[in-house]
Amino acid sequence: MGREKLLLIGNGMAGVRTIEEILERDAAKYEITIIGEERYTNYNRIMLSNVLQKKMTVDEIITNPMQWYNDNGIKLVHHDPAVKLDTDRKQVTTASGACIEYDKCIIATGSRSFILPVEGAQLEGVLGFRTIDDTVQMIEQAKHYKRAAVIGGGLLGLEAAKGLLDQGMDVTVVHLEKWLMETQLNEPAGNLLKQDLEKQGIKFLMEKRTTRLRGTTRVEAVEFSDGSVLEADLVIMSVGIRPVTGLAKEAGLKVERGIVVDDFMAASARDVYAVGECAQHNNTIYGLVAPLYEQGKVLADVLTDRPTEGYKGSTVSTSLKVSGCDLFSAGIIHERDAIKGIEAFNGLTNSYKKLFIQNNQIVGIVLYGDTSEENRYYKMLRDKLDISALNPVTLLASAAGEASSSVADWDDADTVCGCNGVTKGTIVNAIHTQQLTSVAEVTRCTKAGNSCGKCKSTIGELLTHVLGDKVTKAPTGICGCTDLSRDEIVLQIHEQGLKTSKEVFQALNFRNAEGCSKCRPAINFYLNVTFPQEHQDEKESRFVNERMHGNIQKDGRFSVIPRMRGGQTTPQQLLKIAQVAEKYNVPLVKVTGSQRIGLYGVKKEDLPQIWEELDMTSASAYAKAVRSVKTCVGASFCRFGTQDSMGLGIKLEERYEYIDTPHKFKMGVSACPRSCVESGVKDFGVIGVENGFQIYIGGNGGTEVKEAQLLTTVATEQEVIDLCGAMLQYYRKTGNYAERTAPWIERLGFEHVKSVLLDPEQSKALLAELDEAVAGKRNDPWTEVRNNENREQELYTVGRV
């Protein structure tokens, strides 16, 4: 007897998590097919705001790449939504006409942004904020338009507003209610949030009802019920979501606000189930991740014949960081009848807390600013503790006094990851039984930390408590000053708007308040990439080689290696080099391995004058940056050459010289497959062939030689140049400082990197980001050396940053 056919309609977070739970319980039970409406594989919708706010790329929020579907034998019907469900014949028809049979069917169609039914809602420039495509479109629109109105002051609306603000737009949030996030916060906390967001530059119009959008073809203004008008050329609707239930309703299932399910997530038709935002359980539809994952666990038990008490509903708690502002809420958060509240406000830290109490039990919690007590208070609410022995002052003060306790002191039932409902006990048990030694392994095994990521530092603390010094640290290229990973540091730089290394060291609690010789260059690089126009490059944080534009030698003297683009020079350049070498008694003049002429043994005090007299730019032979491009003589001179390798090499250098990268970035252009410049061991290697150019990436020489991998073959030089730029920017954005391209590609996966670089839209976007990042950054090196000469006298010691 063959395996049963399991069909999932919907490729989102709740449905795919259910499939993951089923695979963990019995991977061989079902032949699984997933129908997905979007053109992307499963991704983390929570992280869309990070993409909009330039903290992450689209690829970084993909939870399950295509390889996951293949590895688990899952057939993905991609970008082809289900349009008809026949519960009698047990089959589903897709938009393309494909007919898919099932034995068991899960509906997880989620929800859509609700677009207000007002005049003008169909105009160009009116968008929702729910999908990757929505997000990409918002980013593109922000490049051409400057005035944005975000209708809705809930979580998504505020995240959209912050993202558009970061994209350079003038942003106004329009909200119908008296305060922000009224379903998660009470009025005082909502007002504190508004004040903090106003400081960041977001404007607000409160208690405004939108009645009309003005415009001819594109939106031009928002009109309100009181007659006032707000000019806007981009309008984001974030006034709520609506469950996607049309397919179920047409199939005859019982549908109210959502698809009605019982405690075992079963819908009203035989062998049909529903989970996620489209499901209505006990008259409730949940929009947060944790309850949806709880539903998925129950359904996985049901479908793998495991005993279960069923789904009994969820006590919803929300732990969020909204545009850098921390908040937590749970339970009933408004006073009514017998529910009374006690509250405390700290004006110095702008933090607020309020507890809602009924029958001597906490039934609701609101924390803003300082959320360190969320677990303590939530435990009181969850366990229905009797607090009658505590007077209000003691209740508020005692928890605050104990808030600094370590995760080691938490109960096993305390929640570490609110998004996924993972407790301390679950994580500790997994660490012991499965011998986990890193945060990444804990996340992979327990799902803790793979949604919003806020709890990863707590997971790290728990690992240290359990394992001590046996914890495996993720490679970061940083040092012992911090336990934070590269991604966590960059995320906090974005979240907190940190613009200098000093701010990073202070805000992120580095053990050494001034950093060290390892982390100072790394932080300076991350700041340069994150805020290319705003961050002032910190010369004192660079290695002495980069500050002096010369590689320091064993005796404390320097090398001077001028740039000869493509290895090509002129008689005039050679004369200047000879004259300088003679004048300053340079001990060694040598042709380098990168086809340049180097002057070795130069005194530090002679560097500025030598650069001035050479009147040539530096070849960056010492820097973590784009190095010189090595070339052969090419088709113009070589009888085997098929392409103009020198010409292309010069174009590549002219286009990308002086661009900082996580580590040195070497290129080679060979005119034929004989590859005289060893293109196969370069970070970016080019080999000319009859029909164009073969592109190889990720090759590294050195102590551990790594052969480059064939990326693609292109027809024109411009395609080569553009692919190189896309790779450079993706490497800059995702690489750990001091990580070469070979381990970078190994870490991300060659197929993943390939899919990004060969995607025309992503490649174009990366190239545009690179152009923006390096605009106005190129300076002649000897000018910098001369201007900084006096300061260098104080900073310089051999080997010191």
Q: Does 672 carry a binding-site annotation?
A: yes
With beta carbons less than 8 A apart as the criterion, state whether 141 and 45 touch.
no
With beta carbons less than 8 A apart as the criterion, state whether 354 and 453 touch.
no
Instruction: Give backbone dihedrals phi and psi of 290, rounded to 5 degrees, phi first.
Output: -55, -50
Structure tokens belonging to residue 485: 């990973």
**How open is the CA angle 716-721-727, to the nearest 5 degrees?**
125
- Residue 78 identity (one-letter amino acid): H
Is residue 174 within a helix (H) or strand (E), and if so which, with residue range?
A: strand 170-175
Q: SS3 of 394, please? A: helix
Q: SS3 of 8, please? A: strand
Q: Name the one residue in this structure whose structure tokens are 């998004």.
A: 419
Q: Name the one residue in this structure whose structure tokens are 């006590």.
A: 315
Q: Does 638 carry a binding-site annotation?
A: yes
Q: How far apart are CA 593 and CA 678, in angstroms?
A: 11
CB-based burial of residue 592 (10 Å sphere; 0-12 exposed, 13-18 middle, 19+ buried)?
Answer: middle
Q: Does 516 carry a binding-site annotation?
A: no
Structure tokens belonging to residue 505: 């060291």
With beta carbons less than 8 A apart as the criterion, state whether 3 and 28 touch.
yes
Three-class DSSP labels, 19-65: HHHHHHHHCCCEEEEEECCCCCCCECHHHHHHHHCCCCCCHHHECCC
Burial per residue of 647-665, b for 16 or more beta-carbon CB atoms within 10 angstroms, e otherwise: bbbbbbbebbbbbbbbbbb
Provide the terminal-to-terminal Cα distance of the chain, rounded to the nearest Å.
Answer: 69
With beta carbons less than 8 A apart as the criterion, state whether 693 and 675 touch.
no
What radius of gyration do the chain's Cα atoms show? 30
Q: How far apart are CA 358 and CA 336, in angstroms?
A: 10
Instruction: Give backbone dihedrals phi and psi of 13, rounded to 5 degrees, phi first.
Output: -65, -45
Q: How far apart are CA 751 and CA 239, in angstroms?
A: 39
- Cα pseudo-dihedral 579, 583, 587, 592, rounded to 10: -30
**Contacts for 283 with CB less than 8 Å, ≥ 6 apart:** 256
CA atoms within 13 A on the CB side of 410: 30
**How open is the CA angle 718-721-723, to the nearest 5 degrees?**
105
Query: Which residues does residue 695 pair with via DSSP β-bridges, in sequence order?
Result: 686, 712
**Contacts for 776 with CB less than 8 Å, ≥ 6 apart:** none
Structure tokens belonging to residue 56: 């992450």
CA distances to 650, 712, 722 from 687, in Å: 15, 11, 16
Query: Which residues does residue 100 pair with via DSSP β-bridges, in sequence order?
Result: 92
CA distances to 376, 666, 683 from 742, in Å: 46, 12, 8
Q: Does 632 carry a binding-site annotation?
A: yes
Beta-strand pair 626-631/99-101? unpaired
**Contacts for 754 with CB less than 8 Å, ≥ 6 apart:** 711, 712
- Residue 771 identity (one-letter amino acid): D
Q: Name the one residue in this structure whose structure tokens are 């042709």.
A: 591
Q: How far apart are CA 342 and CA 354, in angstroms?
A: 6
Instruction: Give backbone dihedrals phi and psi of 91, rounded to 5 degrees, phi first.
Output: -150, 155
- Residue 687 identity (one-letter amino acid): I
Q: Name the one residue in this structure whose structure tokens are 């000897």.
A: 782
Annotated binding site: which residue ranges?
Answer: 632, 638, 672, 676
Annotated binding site for siroheme: which residue ranges?
Answer: 676
Annotated binding site for [4Fe-4S] cluster: which residue ranges?
Answer: 632, 638, 672, 676
